[in-house]
Amino acid sequence: MTLHDIDDWLRTELGADKFPVSEQGGIYVPSDRPVERIGLALEPPPQVGNWVQKNNLDALWLHRPWQLNQAALPPNVGVLYHHLPFDETLTTGYNKPMAAALGLFELETLGYKTAPDLADAHLPPRPIGMMGTVPSRSFTNWTELIDSLFGGYDRAEFGSVRVPEKVAVVGAMNPALVQEAHERGVGLYLTGEYRKGTQAAVDETGMAVIAIGHRRTEGWGLRALADVFRKKIGVKVYV
């Protein structure tokens, strides 16, 4: 397994081709070294060179690689990165592994992102979030589930529906998305960050909201990515 093999596989796994070329990610530091052991991190860890040497890593995958001190890496250690493709595929958004963990089924898209630049107008619209039918759970049960999956949450607001039949998982929070979710029968809105400018829409619709915290959703996504690495390509993974 080479760095290029893993890059090609991740391009498909994370749907990188749906993004503008500048946002697709890929190989950050090239290497021709065979990859049997890979380290995954959101950012370069402190003493990154020591971490690589201690675990005899052949490559790294980083969500945000920009502060990486390449001089600290041992020779011929390759680095991959994906920023937006990771965020939109494995944190709050249209995220099938997260839907499975939360018990969502009969998934539907909620909202779309459109290309900000005419040069990217040929790209398909990307879902902002998903919604689905869920097992019967009280709001308290939902907070307990979120706590167990993500290690906590930033904010939880009761809504007018105490046992939601549909839940949305969305990578953004604005009045239009909350209103659309309400109109489509959603009773609980899960997102990363609570946006104060959406409070009037929350009050008007009676929407229950749990803001998990973006860092927690990234941590969940990192663990999910590690699981996919182990199951699908069989490399030794360090997180």
Tell me, what DSSP letter sits at residue 187?
-
Burial call 76-98: b when 16+ CB within 10 Å, e when fewer = ebbbbbbbbbbbbbbbbbbbebb
Cα(159)–Cα(99) distance, integer angstroms: 21
Q: Is 58 annotated for ligand binding?
A: no
The answer to whether 83 is a known ligand-binding residue is no
Q: How far is CA 104 from the centre of its chain?
A: 16
Own/partner pairs, 146-150, CB within 8 angstroms, 24+ separation: 146/190, 146/210, 146/212, 149/101, 149/102, 149/220, 150/212, 150/213, 150/216, 150/217, 150/219, 150/220
d(CA 75, CA 58): 10
Residues whose CB is less than 8 angstroms from the CB of residue 133 and which lie 6 or more positions away in sequence, other chains included: 104, 105, 106, 165, 166
Strands (E), 17-125: 26-29, 37-41, 59-62, 78-81, 105-113
Alpha-carbon distances of 79 from 9, 38, 74, 215, 219, rounded to whole Å: 15, 9, 12, 22, 19
203 is in an annotated binding site: no
Annotated binding-site positions for a divalent metal cation: 87, 214, 218
Annotated binding-site positions: 87, 214, 218
